[in-house]
């Protein structure tokens, strides 16, 4: 997948642009294509249904994101929704309505959120419009969220007689605390982007047309950092959400130690001593390539 890849058939549930091209202020790709090295753009492509997350879409999403994760050329992944109205308005309610407890447990699509959350590559959600139910949960499964001023988050499942099932009760509680999470999940109230930013689960709020460009620029900044250190940092911070403090600190210490002897650590510290900028491996370059960087 190291070469530029893009799938743009109208029936594809997921579009992939890798490397993604830089966007102009209107969110459209700059011409000629200005690739952002190491950055992949994954688009949920069901705009007519407000990018509702059908099982088929979730499965394709997980497969595409995992394939990117396995590609050393990919250093950061941006996930967004097609169109301007929604990131994703939730799981596909028509499809959900026909499910049973057994069929849900057997469905591979159900694990889509966890599979996205589990990739080692940093992920950023670029959210315009509605991010509701499973859509909000998908954004929360990403490592960072860049939201448009017109973005709205919410867990409206209570209005359907169910509860969040894509990790929302857990990830939201860890992100903003029990009381706020209880309120949002028990009332189904929608949260506008500026409030989401104040609550602390959105990184930044930008004018709608600039959302994708801002997310891609953030991804490019991350993609330009030392790759092993980035993956270690991602794993360590995520551990804070999954382990008690003592265990998380042990995870951090192990990851810290594991970086010693890597090209990143050697180049980073050598550059500091030599009073120059570090030269990190370009996306796709082998670890050996960094040895010649000094
Ligand atoms: N599922 C299926 N179709 C949807 C969904 C959805 N979640 N959301 C919107 N659509 C479709 C509509 O049916 C409509 O299709 P059509 O034009 O063919 O009738 C089209 O998208 C446009 O939607 P609206 O006409 O409703 O647009 P409005 O602007 O009037 O309203 C809303 C926009 C407010 C976003 C409204 O569409 C809405 O309330 N959508 C549902 C939101 C919701 O309840 N989401 C939570 C779903 S449950 C969930 O996510 C559980 C996650 C865990 C599942 C784990 C199991 C796998």
Does the Cβ of 52 fall within 6 Å of ligand 1? yes
Please state the domain count of the chain.
2
Under DSSP, is residue 27 helix (H, G, I), strand (E, B) or coil?
Answer: coil
Does residue 221 carry a catalytic annotation?
no
d(CA 26, CA 211): 9
Do residues 211 and 234 both lie within one domain? no
H/E element holding 114?
helix 112-118
Residue 256's domain is classified under what CATH number? Answer: 1.10.12.10
How does pLDDT run across 136-159, given as a tens digit for each residue? Answer: 999 999 999 999 999 999 999 999
Residue at 48 is within a domain: yes
Q: Percent of the chain, pLDDT > 70?
A: 93
Are 109 and 72 in contact, with CB atoms under 8 Å apart?
Answer: no
Residue at 217 is within a domain: yes
Residue at 294 is within a domain: no
Does the Cβ of 74 fall within 6 Å of ligand 1? no
Do residues 67 and 37 both lie within one domain? yes
Do residues 234 and 90 both lie within one domain? no
Average pLDDT of the residues of the chain: 93
CA of 134 to the centre of ligand 1 (A): 10
Do residues 205 and 279 both lie within one domain? no
Ligand 1 atom having least distance to the Cα of 160: 44
Do residues 69 and 177 both lie within one domain? yes
Given ligand 1 and candidates 13, 50, 139, which is best to mutate, with the most ligand atoms within 8 Å of its CB?
50
- Selected catalytic residue, list 52, 73, 91, 125: 91
How does pLDDT run across 223-252, given as a tens digit for each residue? Answer: 999 999 999 999 999 999 999 999 999 999
Global model pTM greater than 0.85: yes
pLDDT at 204: 97
| Closest residue CA from atom 25 of ligand 1 | 49
Does residue 137 carry a catalytic annotation?
yes
Given ligand 1 and candidates 89, 131, 160, 168, which is best to mutate, with the most ligand atoms within 8 Å of its CB?
89
254-276 b/e (C-beta count within 10 Å ≥ 16 → b):
ebeeebeebbbbbbbeebeeeee
């Amino acid at each position: 997948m190291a070469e530029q890849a893009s799938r743009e058939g109208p029936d594809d549930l997921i579009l992939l642009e890798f490397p993604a091209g830089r966007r102009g202020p209107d969110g459209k790709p700059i011409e000629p294509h200005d690739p952002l090295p190491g950055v992949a753009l994954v688009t949920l492509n069901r705009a007519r249904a407000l990018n509702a997350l059908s099982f088929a879409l979730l499965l394709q999403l997980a497969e595409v994101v995992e394939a990117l994760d396995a590609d050393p050329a990919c250093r950061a992944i941006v996930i967004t929704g097609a169109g301007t109205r929604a990131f994703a308005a939730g799981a596909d309610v028509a499809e959900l309505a026909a499910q049973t407890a057994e069929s849900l447990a057997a469905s591979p699509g159900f694990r889509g959120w966890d599979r996205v959350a589990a990739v080692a590559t940093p992920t950023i959600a670029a959210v315009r419009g509605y991010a509701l139910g499973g859509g909000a949960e998908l954004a929360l499964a990403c490592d960072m969220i860049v939201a448009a001023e017109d973005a709205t988050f919410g867990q409206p499942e209570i209005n359907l007689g169910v509860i969040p099932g894509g990790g929302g009760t857990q990830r939201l509680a860890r992100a903003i605390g029990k009381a706020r999470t209880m309120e949002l999940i028990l009332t189904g109230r929608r949260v506008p982007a500026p409030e989401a930013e104040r609550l602390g689960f959105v990184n930044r709020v930008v004018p709608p047309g600039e959302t994708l460009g801002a997310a891609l620029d953030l991804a490019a900044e991350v993609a330009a950092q030392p790759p092993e250190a980035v993956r270690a940092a991602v794993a360590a911070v995520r551990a804070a959400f999954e382990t008690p403090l003592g265990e998380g600190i042990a995870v951090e210490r192990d990851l810290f130690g594991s970086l010693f002897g890597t090209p990143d650590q050697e180049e980073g510290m050598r550059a500091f001593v030599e009073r120059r900028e570090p030269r990190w491996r370009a996306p796709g370059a082998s670890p050996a390539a960094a040895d010649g960087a000094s």
